[in-house]
Structure 1
Amino acid sequence: MSIMTAPMSTPEPDQSDRENLIKVPITADLLHGVVELEQTERGVRPHRLPGWARAQTADPQLAMVEAQTSGVRLVFRTTADVVELEVLPTKVVYPGAPPRPGVRYHLVVDGELRAETEAAAGNVLSVDLATGSSRLEPGPSHTLRFDDLGPAPKTVEIWLPYGEVSELIELRSDAPIVPVTDDRRRWVHHGSSISHGSNADGPTTIWPVVAARGGDVNLTNLGLGGGALLDPFIARTVRDLPADLISIKLGINLTNADLIRMRAFTPAVHGYLDTIRDAHPDTPLLLISPIYCPIHEDTPGPGAPQFREDGTIAFVATGDPAEVAQGKLTLNTIRDELGRIVQQRGAADPQLHYLDGRRLYGPDDHDELPLPDNLHPDPATHRRIGERFTEIVFGAGGPFAG
């Protein structure tokens, strides 16, 4: 099998090779981890929020990240030796900052990672970190080719990048493809950029996917970079999805966006939980507080990016700790309040659980694996968080134990 590692990209196949392949329509039953498919002129664009929810905000950051395909994968059975996927990605660049990871495709065959690659072409969205303005430069599509798969029947998963918008144009193979129904327990997770993927080195190594594979569950990842802000349409989206397990990770975005005060935070969390419980009254529901992040433990936001001398970015907290008395949020005040809310509701809701995020990544972990930009984990930390979640939450006695 040809195994390619980023930053290498798959060479474009010859047109004669392509003409001998079967064209497979990309339909909803091939895609897992998707909330809605948008039909485009050339193919389909996966979304992780429904259209009615997207219409309820004008935030360009949320519009970008919900269309990025974190946790989204094509899954099928086949005897094909060659599989091609034509894609039109939209890559995000931050002028003046180093390229960020999150653009790799992972090929998994019968549960094992067999190849990884990038799409060399595509649209480019340039985002100015200082002003938030952006500019889109259109680009061509790219065909990813996976060959030497062998003639044996197999389950193939193509995991899409967590840091790109992926328009899927055409799937091709040299043997028929059959969609796979995933009958495992359905886990719906919502969180911030850390749940979205942040600095993980590929789509199957972000912590929710590591945890889902460890817990043997079917993941729908609603991790949204900068978007875990207690928006009511997110709660209604979670409410409307089929789910056997639900987790909500709250805190860091509310602090670094400086969006809300404690007076509004408490009833907003209650309302969020009430909305989810409207359709999932007895589903195990885990409320997770932030992992350890020194800049915001006791200092409120807003957070701000700064360029280091080497050109990398570091985030800083610009708030005043004295403002906590007026209701500004820090990670510690959020943890205290989330724990209190779960305890208050616990008698009437025994399937509501609380997890202090520092059990997933705490001060000792930070000493060993510090956050490279003061905010987001590195690839090794993503794996650690996912493995810890598997042990604590999916393990014996955990709230999601099988």
Structure 2
Amino acid sequence: MTDWISTPIDARVLRGALDLERTEHGVLPHRLPAWVREQYLTDHLAMVEAQPSGVRLAFRTDATAVELDALRTKNAYHGVPPLPDGVYDLLVDGRLTGQASVSGGNVRTVDMATQSTVTTPGPAGTVRFTDLPTGVKDIEIWLPHAETTELIALRTNAPVDAAPGIGRRVWLHHGSSISHGSNATSPTSIWPAVASALGGVELVNLGFGGNALLDPFTARTMRDTPADLISLKVGINLVNADLMRLRAFTPAVHGFLDTIREGHPDTPLLVVSPIFCPIHEDTPGPCAPDFSGSTLRFRALGDPADRASGRLTLTVIRDELARVTEQRAADDPNLHYLDGRELYGEPEFERMPLPDALHPDTAAHRHIGERFAELVFGNGGAFAAKEA
């Protein structure tokens, strides 16, 4: 029988979360602070910010067995086949060593047409990793990026110490569902996780599905969050939500950047425009789910002729982001721009098409992460490490 040692789940062993909420079950990691959660009005943002994309347990131990009790809330969608279970990725000394899922949990059923939800409760479950290598090692357990996860208990068969920071730079990133990890199969296969591993940095991922909307509270959160590197990937949600026109978009971008600069005046700051997405390259939103085929796909409902009146497309947004960043960079040498098609463009779409016409699959996530690491963390990139 294993002699288990319980370790409190708190900020000492949890990375990538900006707030921990105590619930009746345990600890719920949030990626937006409590004051922000009092300001937004949508259930959808409440759902996605509580999905722990990029959040992981990190500790040093010589344990050979680890157990984690958790209560998941898994999404289901009317008219869509059941989603696969969320995956917990186990990394030992930085290498993917195991994967598992938790059973039971709550099911949140979403009507994509109305965004109404109904939640059916279920029991907590346990994730187990056994037969780990002997000796002292650094362990990370990355939580499922698309399942709300209440952490109840962490047990090991040897004592746990907080993993050392080892002086790695902190990369704070904000983006849409693509940055959140939509369609990737596990939490370390989402493109920001791939890029952070290759870049040797600590990731704080503020990728929120459907909610990269230049919200002022997100800008203030980024302003107040310690970071050595900051990136903002914006555009696709503004188009597919049909949220604003060009007249509002330009000052909103300036305001977002101004707010970040209040807290990070000299931090390398990278603005990334959208990746290639044919349905919205020259067609405005809104975007709607299409259930006419055997699998879920998305389609644009706007009229390309409306670009003349200021409606946004990806082409319009790329042009304006390039112009705004070039203008500001004259007085801000640490501000940089990257065209998202450098990460995933027409050639990539031909080889790795977007399965639902909107989100990349796991292979494309890896490609985007590798390209980001090459272009941004590599020699001459905006986040290239400076020699001491």
Same fold by TM (over 0.5)?
yes
Q: What is the aligned partner in structure 2 of residue 221 from structure 1?
A: 205
Distance in 2 separating the partners of 1:327 and 1:45: 41
Where do 5+ consecutive residues of structure 1 fail to align? 1-15
Q: What is the aligned partner in structure 2 of residue 33 from structure 1?
A: 16
AA of the residue aligned to 1:352: L
Q: What is the aligned partner in structure 2 of residue 45 from structure 1?
A: 28
Q: Map 1:1-400 onto structure 2 (within 5 A).
A: 17=2, 20-101=3-84, 103-182=86-165, 183-310=167-294, 312-400=295-383
Q: Residues 100 and 199 of structure 1 are in contact (CA less than 8 Å); yes or no, is this contact kept in structure 2?
A: no
Post-superposition offset of 1:151? 2.8
Post-superposition offset of 1:100? 3.3
AA of the residue aligned to 2:219: A
**More divergent stretch after superposition (92-101 vs 26-35):** 92-101
RMSD (Å) for aligned C-alpha atoms:
1.0
Q: Residues 255 and 301 of structure 1 are in contact (CA less than 8 Å); yes or no, is this contact kept in structure 2?
A: yes
- Deviations 1:120-161 (Å, cap 9, x if unpaired)? 111110001122110011110001111111331111100000
Distance in 1 separating the partners of 2:97 and 2:71: 23
AA of the residue aligned to 1:160: L
Q: Residues 101 and 200 of structure 1 are in contact (CA less than 8 Å); yes or no, is this contact kept in structure 2?
A: no
Distance in 1 separating the partners of 2:83 and 2:330: 45
Aligned residue for 1:28, secondary structure, equals coil
TM (norm. structure 1) is 0.94
Identity of paired residues, percent?
61
Post-superposition offset of 1:101? 4.8
Aligned residue for 1:107, secondary structure, equals strand
Q: Residues 75 and 180 of structure 1 are in contact (CA less than 8 Å); yes or no, is this contact kept in structure 2?
A: yes
AA of the residue aligned to 1:199: N
Distance in 1 separating the partners of 2:292 and 2:245: 31
Distance in 2 separating the partners of 1:308 and 1:211: 36
Q: Residues 100 and 128 of structure 2 are in contact (CA less than 8 Å); yes or no, is this contact kept in structure 1?
A: no
Post-superposition offset of 1:309? 2.7
Are residues 184 and 102 of structure 1, via their aligned partners in 2, closer, same or farther at CA, if it must alter by over 3 Å?
farther
Are residues 166 and 219 of structure 1, via their aligned partners in 2, closer, same or farther at CA, if it must alter by over 3 Å?
same
AA of the residue aligned to 1:366: F
- Deviations 1:224-269 (Å, cap 9, x if unpaired)? 0001000000000000000100000000000000000000100010
Distance in 1 separating the partners of 2:90 and 2:192: 18
Distance in 2 separating the partners of 1:102 and 1:241: 31
Distance in 2 separating the partners of 1:102 and 1:317: 29
Distance in 2 separating the partners of 1:100 and 1:244: 36
Where do 5+ consecutive residues of structure 2 fail to align? none
Distance in 2 separating the partners of 1:396 and 1:151: 37
Count of equivalent residues:
384
- Deviations 1:47-80 (Å, cap 9, x if unpaired)? 0000111111111110000000100000000011
Q: Residues 91 and 124 of structure 1 are in contact (CA less than 8 Å); yes or no, is this contact kept in structure 2?
A: yes
Q: Residues 85 and 101 of structure 2 are in contact (CA less than 8 Å); yes or no, is this contact kept in structure 1?
A: no
Q: Residues 105 and 202 of structure 1 are in contact (CA less than 8 Å); yes or no, is this contact kept in structure 2?
A: yes
**More divergent stretch after superposition (158-167 vs 129-138):** 129-138
Distance in 2 separating the partners of 1:314 and 1:386: 24
Are residues 380 and 68 of structure 1, via their aligned partners in 2, closer, same or farther at CA, if it must alter by over 3 Å?
same
Q: Residues 22 and 174 of structure 1 are in contact (CA less than 8 Å); yes or no, is this contact kept in structure 2?
A: yes
AA of the residue aligned to 1:284: P
Post-superposition offset of 1:220? 0.1
Distance in 1 separating the partners of 2:54 and 2:148: 12
Distance in 1 separating the partners of 2:350 and 2:85: 25
Distance in 2 separating the partners of 1:122 and 1:172: 20
TM (norm. structure 2) is 0.98
Q: What is the aligned partner in structure 2 of residue 12 from structure 1?
A: none
Distance in 2 separating the partners of 1:99 and 1:281: 46
AA of the residue aligned to 2:213: L
AA of the residue aligned to 2:25: R
Aligned residue for 1:29, secondary structure, equals coil
Q: Residues 103 and 126 of structure 2 are in contact (CA less than 8 Å); yes or no, is this contact kept in structure 1?
A: no
Q: Residues 193 and 223 of structure 1 are in contact (CA less than 8 Å); yes or no, is this contact kept in structure 2?
A: yes
Distance in 2 separating the partners of 1:289 and 1:150: 42
